């Protein structure tokens, strides 16, 4: 709306409530001013009353443009057309792009994520997500193992600690890693010499 608040008249008995004084004179607002606690609520209440017959049915489609603008005209409210855009093929709204093809995430909002370099190791994975996940260090407590052959990694395995194992001393956790790993890869290790 063009000067939306300034289009609402203040009731005569309430004018005294929003007066102000300067060095030179005493002034009274005859119209709604910005900064009043109730200004937004009063303005939205008025707009809702103006559009009451149409709320939750439309106020979006181009066929209804005249129906939407007519109540504004009848109530002597004026729209600021520089703030309007008509017949757009898509609309950005709350981080989404809404179009005839459906609702998609706004590419501008996710460009940083899309352009991230993939993490190369466990430490980089942790650094990417640590700031976004509350209690990440507790969630990500893991026993990390790898199977090597001739110095090359063949496979990785990890698991989260069970709650009762979080209090184990380090040497018990290391032994648990060995036992777990031998169980997981017994088919690869059976009958072979290996180094732990």
Clarify whether residues 82 and 147 are in a common domain. Answer: no
> What pLDDT is attached to residue 95?
81
pTM of this structure? 0.34
**Cα three-residue angle 60-62-67, rounded to 5 degrees:** 80
Is residue 97 assigned to a domain? no
Is residue 10 assigned to a domain? yes
Dihedral angle, C-alpha 45, 51, 54, 60, nearest 10 °: -100
Q: What is the pLDDT along the chain (196 residues), one digit of tens a residue?
A: 677 777 788 888 888 888 888 888 888 888 887 777 788 888 888 888 888 887 777 655 666 777 878 888 888 887 787 877 777 888 887 888 888 888 888 888 888 777 877 667 767 766 666 666 666 656 555 547 677 777 777 777 777 777 888 788 877 877 887 888 888 888 877 888 877 7
Q: Give the end-to-end CA distance of the chain in Å, rounded to a whole number.
A: 73
Domain that holds residue 145: 118-185
Of the three residues 70, 87, 104, the one that is the final residue of a domain is 87
Clarify whether residues 72 and 141 are in a common domain. Answer: no
Clarify whether residues 17 and 82 are in a common domain. Answer: yes
Is residue 101 assigned to a domain? no
Clarify whether residues 81 and 122 are in a common domain. Answer: no
Is residue 159 assigned to a domain? yes
Q: Nearest 5°: phi and psi at 82? A: -70, -15
**pLDDT tens figures, 117-130:** 766 776 776 666 66
Clarify whether residues 17 and 64 are in a common domain. Answer: yes
> What pLDDT is attached to residue 141?
56
Is residue 38 assigned to a domain? yes
Tally of domains in the chain:
2
> What pLDDT is attached to residue 1?
66
Is residue 108 assigned to a domain? no
Is residue 69 assigned to a domain? yes
Clarify whether residues 76 and 142 are in a common domain. Answer: no
Is residue 109 assigned to a domain? no
């Amino acid at each position: 709306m063009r000067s939306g608040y300034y289009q609402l008249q203040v009731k005569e008995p309430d004018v005294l409530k929003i007066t102000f004084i300067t060095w030179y004179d005493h002034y009274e607002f005859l119209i709604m001013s910005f900064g009043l606690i109730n200004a937004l609520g009063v303005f939205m209440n008025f707009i809702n009353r103006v559009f009451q017959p149409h709320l939750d049915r439309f106020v979006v489609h181009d066929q209804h443009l005249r129906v939407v603008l007519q109540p504004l005209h009848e109530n002597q409210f004026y729209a600021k057309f520089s703030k309007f855009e008509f017949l757009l093929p898509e609309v950005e709204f709350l981080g989404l792009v809404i179009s005839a093809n459906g609702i998609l995430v706004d590419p501008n909002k996710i460009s940083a994520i899309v352009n991230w370099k993939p993490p190369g190791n466990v430490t980089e994975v942790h650094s990417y997500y640590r700031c976004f996940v509350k209690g990440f260090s507790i969630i990500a407590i893991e026993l990390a193992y790898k199977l090597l052959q001739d110095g090359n990694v063949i496979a990785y395995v990890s698991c989260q600690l069970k709650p009762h194992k979080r209090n184990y001393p380090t040497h018990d956790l290391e032994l648990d890693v060995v036992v777990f790993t031998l169980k997981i890869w017994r088919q690869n290790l059976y009958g072979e010499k290996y180094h732990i």
